[in-house]
Amino acid sequence: MVASEYQDSPGVVYEQQPNADGLRNDAFWERARLLGLCSPAVILVMIIMVLPVAWLFWLSFLDDTGALTLEHYQRMIEKKAYGRIFYTTFEVSFLTTLICVLIGYPLSYLMSQLSPRWATFCLIAVLLPFWTSLLVRTYAWLVLLQRKGLVNGWAIDLGLWDAPIKMVHNLSGTLIGMVHIMLPFLVLPVFGAMKAIDRDFVKAAANLGASPVKAFWMVFFPLSLPGLFAGGLIVFVLCLGFYVTPAVLGGGKVIMVSMKITDTIELFFNWGAASALGVVLLIMTMGTLWISSKLLRLDRVLGGGR
């Protein structure tokens, strides 16, 4: 070994340490052993998720007789029904994300400025649905929005509308339920990002003569954009693969990719077709994440959830 290799650590003279190589070796193996602590979790993820999904990937290229084919993918392109399902999936995901941003951003903004006591109160209000079963919340909306439900009853009593409006088992019911479930995923990262913004910037803008509105749009808003992108991305990606809420509140009229996949398995036992849909769904999800990671740092997005 040439001594000059170690010159990058200043103040340490390695020539006088004959054990340097041995120590380096030991350090390497110790770090490797420590990393080995991850192996049980990694092995489990490999066996339970990666291998089966890889197997599905393979199945998606096989027909009934086990011969290689592209028919499952061809069907997706040729049949109009599939196009509609993908369109619905994107439509629901996009609208949910948009509504979440529009109502979640002002809430996060206010929370970031409230006194600790009120901010904690709001945080509990955001966290309570986060910890409550998704199924319970979907059920609650089903009860509230049905024809004889509470929302229709109160709206008619207040004279907002005359006859019961159909609010569930359609797109609007699905969107109400999805926004309710996704909103905490947006508010938590956006709130976190806003708390980290140095308020002196806004003060400086006000000091230099900016009106409150101008100081917000020119200083605060651009600084909060990374957090908003992160939150919006989490919501969008989670929506793409969502199943329970559209299945219950959509009433069979809002068919998303994930629902088509389960139907294909449960009703038709067609593993090839279901796998092909799953592969496309996975590519859509990972593609969205990949494109976004080019735009912003992925670890910040993924770590910002809770």
Partner 1 sequence: MMSWLRRPASETQITHGQRLWLYILAGIVIVFLVAPTLIVIPMSFSDSQYLEFPPRVWSTRWYDHYFASEEWTQATYTSIKIAFLTMLVATPLGIMAAYGLATSSFKFAQLIFITLITPMMVPVVLIGIGVFYAYVQLGMVNTIPGVVLAHTILAVPLVLIVVSAGLKSYDMNQERVARSLGASRFYAFMAITLPQIRFSVITAALLAFITSFDEVIIAMFVSGGENSTLTRSMFNALRDQIDPTIASISTIMVLISTTLLVASMVFGTTGREEK
Residue whose token pair is 């996975």: 282
**14 interacts with partner 1 by CB under 8 A:** no
- Count of residues near partner 1 by CB under 8 A: 92
Structure token pair of residue 27: 């350090």
Q: Which amino acid is at 174?
A: T
Using the rule CB under 8 A, give the single segment among 6-14, 77-85, 157-165, 212-220 that binds partner 1.
212-220
Among 115, 131, 162, 163, binds partner 1 (CB under 8 A): 131
Residue whose token pair is 């197997």: 55
How far is residue 305's CA from residue 242's CA, in Å, rounded to a whole number? 17
How far is residue 134's CA from residue 181's CA, in Å, rounded to a whole number? 7
**7 interacts with partner 1 by CB under 8 A:** no
Q: Which of residues 63-102 bind partner 1 (CB under 8 A)?
A: none
At closest approach, how far in Å is the CB of 71 from partner 1? 19
Residue whose token pair is 């629902």: 259
Tell me, rounded to whole angstroms, the distance of Cα 282 from its chain centroid: 13
Residue ranges of alpha helices (H) inside 241-269 are 244-249, 257-266
**289 interacts with partner 1 by CB under 8 A:** yes
**299 interacts with partner 1 by CB under 8 A:** yes
User: CA distances (Å), 205 to each of 52, 129, 170, 238, in order?
Assistant: 55, 37, 47, 37
**132 interacts with partner 1 by CB under 8 A:** yes
Structure token pair of residue 270: 């067609």
Among 95, 243, 255, 296, binds partner 1 (CB under 8 A): 243
Using the rule CB under 8 A, give the single segment among 60-68, 71-79, 158-166, 282-290 that binds partner 1.
282-290
**287 interacts with partner 1 by CB under 8 A:** no
**127 interacts with partner 1 by CB under 8 A:** yes
**138 interacts with partner 1 by CB under 8 A:** yes
